[in-house]
Structure 1
Amino acid sequence: MPDDKYSAALKLIDEAHAQDPKKIEVNGKEQPYELHYSQKMSSYLEKRSPNAPDTLRLAIRAQHFRRWEIPRDSYPMTKIGYHAWRTYLKKRQADMASHICLDCGYSEDDAKRVAHLIRKEDLKKDEDTQTLEDVACLVFLDDQFEEFEQQHDEDKIVKILQKTWGKMSGRGHELALEIPMSERCKSLVGKALAGG
């Protein structure tokens, strides 16, 4: 059973997500996008690692913490600009989430661990960081891929899918292949896995 500090931290994270001005419709109800996204992240974590520690659960939930406050177009619309934006976001989100952990009674080590995970440090070496990456990739494939693939040409989509697949673990791949997709999306995934 989650303890009080976990529940308190989760509540603060979700209250921030609920302020996202971008809304989407989920099962006929309007919901702030980042609240929806973070709940999807937690739901995939349950499938990927049901016994995950609090630090990973909180990092997963806060992975996009207050992301809407720094829009993509606040950085140059180039590849370098995109990477600079992502790097800044990871650091900012990690710092804010670690402060929430401290305020809710977590130790400095636990708060640092949450920040470490949100920054995705030691990917491929740190099992929890790998789990977070798997979960982020699964949510992309389940929740964003269909809309994303309509905005880009096929070659670009196949390359992005190959890159996404390369970031994931074997367990991540298994879960990805269980995601219900349109025939078009399935065929793009098939192409990517067959080498383009």
Structure 2
Amino acid sequence: MAFSFKNLYLGKTIDMSEKLQQAFERFDAYNKNDPNRFTWKGQDYPQEYFLALKLHEWVRKLDPQASQQLLLASRSQHIGRWESPRKNYPMDRSGYLLWRKELAQHHATTAGKILRELGYDETTMLATQQIILKRKIKVEADVQTMENALCLVFLQFQYADFFPKHEDKIVDILRKSLLKMDAHGHQFALQLPYSEAGLAHIQAALALLAAKGQ
């Protein structure tokens, strides 16, 4: 089915500077190179391109007055993710943690290079990278908004396919994800449509958080 990349992004009425729009276009062009595909409502997209647009939409919804650096980070949070596959690291916890750390740095470095090429100042570039690296979660508002948005993208677009494959540990996975969110993020999470089983897992995870005073 034919589609227009422009039609996928819903935020057409946002008043944004020309430079910000140029950054979005550069990030999008990079992510359209993702060889991995994501199918949504019968249409096929480069995975990280699709997810970046949806992350951006969630950030705008969570924070209508989002800062420039938060908007930039939302469109480049996982830029070039396919370039550092998990299989290139040891398949144990230490390998996983190293992969996550180096992957985040890859995203920040790639986004920073594009911002420099567009003439962004060092302060804006570094602030954007700090959000991408998720430094000071629960302290910095922009980082917390990003974490909320990341979890909401997962819940809206990936959770339904994910949880049936991980029934034995899905409640704990959700608990850890929901713990990173705040009350504002939880409100949106509970408004999403889920299957009966999917909702039950989320409610169980929230109950665990409440029981542990988290």
TM-score under structure 1 normalisation? 0.96
Which amino acid in the other structure matches residue 179 of structure 2? G
1:133-176 deviations in Å (ceiling 9; x for gaps): 1100111111111111121133x111111111110011101011
Tell me the equivalent position of 1:67.
Answer: 81
Tell me the equivalent position of 2:171.
Answer: 158
Equivalent residue runs for 1:18-167 within 5 Å:
18-154=32-168, 156-167=169-180
Tell me the equivalent position of 1:2.
Answer: 16
Q: Does 1:185 align with 2:207?
A: no
Q: How many angstroms apart in 2 are the aligned matches of 1:46 and 1:182? A: 26
TM-score under structure 2 normalisation? 0.88
Q: How many angstroms apart in 2 are the aligned matches of 1:168 and 1:31? A: 28
Choose the corresponding residue for 1:168, options 167, 181, 188. Answer: 181
Aligned-partner SS, 1:86? helix
Q: How many angstroms apart in 1 are the aligned matches of 2:206 and 2:42? A: 35
Deviation at 1:29, TM superposition (A): 2.2
Q: How many angstroms apart in 1 are the aligned matches of 2:174 and 2:182? A: 14
Q: Any unmatched runs of 5+ in structure 2?
A: 1-14, 210-214
Tell me the equivalent position of 2:6.
Answer: none
Determine what percentage of the aligned residue pairs are the same residue.
36
Aligned-partner SS, 1:51? coil
Q: How many angstroms apart in 1 are the aligned matches of 2:35 and 2:157? A: 19
CA RMSD of aligned residues (A): 1.2
Aligned-partner SS, 1:65? coil
Q: How many angstroms apart in 2 are the aligned matches of 1:25 and 1:121? A: 32
